[in-house]
Structure 1
């Protein structure tokens, strides 16, 4: 860039720095050169310009007035050209420039200001050429990295050759696609993703304590913002070259994100087709086996998992991604597919069947951490060959939905919950609510109106397997009182506890949702 120090470094110009103590100002970028002999040129000088003068104003105004005018205008510095009439710098000018923090440079007699202008133009041209060369070189390197499949990580590695800034790439789903020069925290990644989902996304995000972090938006295939390139340094710490490099990298990252979206769409379609083949039954065993081998899953003993989040707002794609990464970390090839309500995973299982629930528990806990979910439930099928996958998959998915509807264990097999609770768990909650209201509605209304405890009495009676004496003792009432209560329940419900079918109705209604 064009600076006073760079001009002074040209020996042909005959420049001498008079204020070396202002080293920081001497190395600051200057916009251009401005020649003037006006007593007050402040109206014509742009901020950042280097002022050239022979001091013809000196007889009309004091050095203090002239220097103050330059300071008001925001001049980058002052070059005083010596002449036969002024062969030496005015002494007061040096002291004033130091006091006003204005760099002062002396130009020897005989060197015209035009020489400085030509030198500045040459330097600017060299800077522009260097920037263009750097942009072309970086563009070629970025294109090569993406063509070789280096992804977002490869893009940041290319940037590392031009800047030492800590960089982070995050997508809208809160996944860290790449990071270099930093170790982002979970909270920083969360804030970064949240910013991308705002409309419109901000240009800076509060990821740092000291100052906001600059954000460079990365567009996907449909022109929507799908990711962001963040610099984990304040914008003030970035140079113009840094900003240009990051802006260029963001455009190349858009190509990578678009490519990944296309690949993910193909993979999702491929996975959905395989899932349909499995569910179609053993008639397509050969095709299923061939497709599974494409995922690295060989024939043999296969384990089937059905995974789902307890929180509806956790995307199933995030669950699938986390599960795939965990299986890979264990060195287990796996096929995963995100359905409408769960994620299916099929993998070879060479360990014992007893170890499968243990692994499922660890898998659930790991996904909770990776996907920032409150709870992940996993239904397990029994070990099976390819021909038996359909039955085990259906069972695993049924178990998964039961676990999701209940506050019980996070993992289970079909055998673990093959009771009335599984059937209730598979029912639509509205259907179960209507059934409960039909059976117990009158009892609950009576309790609310008369302040009785008929529903509680019924619960204790059934919990004690219909034993009159044990129930009466548990309720601290006489057996006759208990019989009167049960008779009143029979009147209100139309169901007699001496008939098995009626007991089943009452028991299932009590097992359903309770009114608080």
Structure 2
């Protein structure tokens, strides 16, 4: 904003006393002072307002104006309300130092001048900054593949005096114009983002406002969010609009960092599919190296599925965010996300680390949930068995009601660990041959043979307990077991046949 713009503000009634040829100077801010030597509080290009309380003798004007000129002030606006004039010594001092001087009308308050000028400056800055941010958005989208968010947030902080940060729903700080103040807890910001009934949301205790990045297209647990100092409800319209522009830039940067469409992402997806399909080691190990993993390392497999509206791509994002350590490989198998995580020499409680990381998301999972399974530590050559083990553990977790449930390999029974190493086609054929005759019979006759078999085995072959649990007569249970034996050619009095039925039911 230039000095001559002050004269166009008719409500201010400012009059030029000196410096008519300096009206193209720019104003950065407005400062009111009654100090004789205010230089240490000035940083240049201010419009200074004063009521001359500092003046006790004519020589004071020289001291005052010299301090303003040395600080690089753009102009001075003054009026002595008590004397009803501007003293000649102040006018002379302003002429000597080349400082434009404006006369303030007696009926115009300094607060009114400040309000008008600050509003004009804020509007201009918001427009200028929006243009800069728009240019940066184009750069992020196309030209500047390596551009980041720190520079944009620093620009917002420097030009608007508004410090901002970008965080994930787990409370991880992605970028910021400054370090988070000690009074601001990132976990509290994340919890407020996940649970706020509406966004934007003001977090009163932290003096911070929270904005979504892509509220209409991404679930909150998979979105990033922006935290800005101040109360957004008190901001002018221009600043509110600026947060929308900033959110668009953050969304672009997040999309740029999403590796699903990158070479690395495609390699990760291919590696997961190879491992699950039981590809030979000479196919898996080279792909492992291509993804940046060391085939000599030890690994843990993690399987994850979501209950509720969370989409597979969002599930993959959440899993990658929650996994500890560097460089996990994450791929999708239909609605299930599979990760291969290098763990060095082992000895880590990966299931516990993932559980703690995901618990931060629990407040945002109302009506939905996450189920995860974590395998034991294995070598690169044992990855397929580890993935199967993790998937079994994930199925066990899915049967529980917690918003976030992580089951580690230690909770799996021995037979599950054994079955995890059996090829899919063999397990499928085993299950079909043993149980399909019973399922077909149940569909036709509504005989409930499968449920009877499972209850009979759960009660260790006790006719009485099985009958009580099914609310049947013992003779009815005997009839059903006889029909099961006739349809399958097995005898439930034999231990090996009971074991086969037990395993087939677990595979189902």
Question: TM-score if structure 2 supplies the norm length?
Answer: 0.51
Aligned partners of 1:324, 1:127: CA distance in 2, in Å? 40
* Displacement after TM superposition at 1:279 (Å): 3.9
Tell me: CA distance 1:427–1:152, structure 2 relative to 1, closer, same or farther (3 Å). farther
Structure 2 contact 193–210 (Cα < 8 Å) conserved:
no
The CA deviation string for residues 116-137 of structure 1, in whole angstroms up to 9 with x for no partner, is xxxxxx9999999877766666
Aligned partners of 1:399, 1:140: CA distance in 2, in Å? 48
- The aligned residue for residue 160 of structure 2 is 163
- The aligned residue for residue 79 of structure 1 is none
SS at match of 1:158: helix
Alignment of 1:163-182 (within 5 A): 163-165=160-162, 167=164, 169=166, 178=175
Aligned partners of 2:127, 2:248: CA distance in 1, in Å? 17
- The aligned residue for residue 390 of structure 1 is 384
The CA deviation string for residues 175-223 of structure 1, in whole angstroms up to 9 with x for no partner, is 975566654523421256x85xxxxxxxx6344469996968769999x
SS at match of 2:299: strand
- The aligned residue for residue 288 of structure 2 is 292
SS at match of 1:367: helix
2:337 to 337, 343, 353: 343
Structure 2 contact 133–152 (Cα < 8 Å) conserved:
no
The CA deviation string for residues 382-413 of structure 1, in whole angstroms up to 9 with x for no partner, is 62334x43344344434533553478981227
Residue 363, structure 1, aligned to residue 354, structure 2:
yes
Structure 1 contact 461–467 (Cα < 8 Å) conserved:
no
Structure 1 contact 361–410 (Cα < 8 Å) conserved:
no
- The aligned residue for residue 92 of structure 2 is none
Aligned partners of 1:142, 1:461: CA distance in 2, in Å? 63
SS at match of 1:298: coil
Tell me: CA distance 1:302–1:130, structure 2 relative to 1, closer, same or farther (3 Å). closer
Alignment of 1:34-183 (within 5 A): 105-106=105-106, 147=144, 149=146, 151-165=148-162, 167=164, 169=166, 178=175, 183=186
Aligned partners of 2:245, 2:406: CA distance in 1, in Å? 50
SS at match of 2:253: helix
1:412 to 398, 409, 414: 409
Aligned partners of 2:328, 2:122: CA distance in 1, in Å? 53
Tell me: CA distance 1:341–1:129, structure 2 relative to 1, closer, same or farther (3 Å). closer
Residue 377, structure 1, aligned to residue 356, structure 2:
no
1:486 to 474, 490, 494: 474
2:491 to 492, 501, 506: 501
* Displacement after TM superposition at 1:308 (Å): 1.8
Structure 2 contact 300–375 (Cα < 8 Å) conserved:
yes
Tell me: CA distance 1:175–1:434, structure 2 relative to 1, closer, same or farther (3 Å). farther
Tell me: CA distance 1:186–1:126, structure 2 relative to 1, closer, same or farther (3 Å). closer
Residue 275, structure 1, aligned to residue 263, structure 2:
no
Q: Which has the higher contact order (CA 8 A, sep 6+)?
A: 2
Aligned partners of 1:419, 1:501: CA distance in 2, in Å? 26
Aligned partners of 1:459, 1:415: CA distance in 2, in Å? 19
* Displacement after TM superposition at 1:161 (Å): 0.7
Structure 1 contact 278–390 (Cα < 8 Å) conserved:
yes
Tell me: CA distance 1:379–1:431, structure 2 relative to 1, closer, same or farther (3 Å). farther
Tell me: CA distance 1:489–1:185, structure 2 relative to 1, closer, same or farther (3 Å). same
Structure 2 contact 463–478 (Cα < 8 Å) conserved:
no
Alignment of 1:178-193 (within 5 A): 178=175, 183=186, 185-191=189-195
Alignment of 1:419-430 (within 5 A): none
Aligned partners of 1:258, 1:304: CA distance in 2, in Å? 27
Tell me: CA distance 1:7–1:129, structure 2 relative to 1, closer, same or farther (3 Å). farther
* Displacement after TM superposition at 1:258 (Å): 4.7
Higher mean displacement: 487-496 or 171-180: 171-180
Tell me: CA distance 1:105–1:338, structure 2 relative to 1, closer, same or farther (3 Å). same
- The aligned residue for residue 306 of structure 1 is 302
* Displacement after TM superposition at 1:298 (Å): 0.6
Aligned partners of 2:378, 2:419: CA distance in 1, in Å? 24
Structure 2 contact 301–383 (Cα < 8 Å) conserved:
no
Tell me: CA distance 1:123–1:220, structure 2 relative to 1, closer, same or farther (3 Å). closer
Question: TM-score if structure 1 supplies the norm length?
Answer: 0.51
* Displacement after TM superposition at 1:380 (Å): 1.6
Tell me: CA distance 1:437–1:328, structure 2 relative to 1, closer, same or farther (3 Å). same
Residue 11, structure 1, aligned to residue 17, structure 2:
yes
Tell me: CA distance 1:507–1:486, structure 2 relative to 1, closer, same or farther (3 Å). farther
SS at match of 1:308: strand
SS at match of 2:478: helix
Tell me: CA distance 1:411–1:466, structure 2 relative to 1, closer, same or farther (3 Å). same
- The aligned residue for residue 31 of structure 1 is none
The CA deviation string for residues 411-464 of structure 1, in whole angstroms up to 9 with x for no partner, is 22776343899989x989x989957957996589xxxxxxxxxx89x9689735
Aligned partners of 1:401, 1:158: CA distance in 2, in Å? 48
Structure 1 contact 271–337 (Cα < 8 Å) conserved:
yes
* Displacement after TM superposition at 1:309 (Å): 3.9
Aligned partners of 2:397, 2:121: CA distance in 1, in Å? 68
